[in-house]
Copies of this chain bind each other. A is one copy, B any other.
Amino acid sequence: MGCIGYGSGDALVRTAFRGLSAFPLTPIRDDAVDEGAFAGLVERLAAAGVDSITALGSTGSYAYLSPAERARVTRLAVGHAAGIPVFAGVSALRTSQVLAYAEQAQEAGAAGLLLAPMRYQPLSDDEVFTLFEDLTRHASVPVILYDNPATTGFSFTTELYARIAALPGIGSIKIPGVPADPGKAGKRVAEIRAVVPAHVTIGVSGDAFAAAGLSAGCDAWYSVIGGTVPVAAQRIVRALDEGEPERARAESDRLAPLWDLFASCGGSLRVVAAMAEELGLVQRPCLPAPLQGLGEEQRERLRAVMAALGLDR
Contact = CB atoms under 8 A, between A and B. Distances in A.
A64 B120 contact: yes
Interface residues of A, number: 32
A70 to B, nearest CB: 13
A158 interface: no
A191 interface: no
Nearest to A127: B290
A121, A124, A131 — most chain B CB neighbours (10 Å): A121
Nearest to A153: B153
Contacts of A64: 93-94, 120
A118, A128, A131, A288 — most chain B CB neighbours (10 Å): A288
B267 A121 contact: yes
Contacts of A120: 58, 63-64, 118, 151
Interface in A117-151: 117-118, 120-124, 126-128, 130-131, 134, 150-151
A224 to B, nearest CB: 12
Contacts of A93: 63-64, 288
Nearest to A269: B121
A121 to B, nearest CB: 6
A291 interface: yes
A123 to B, nearest CB: 7
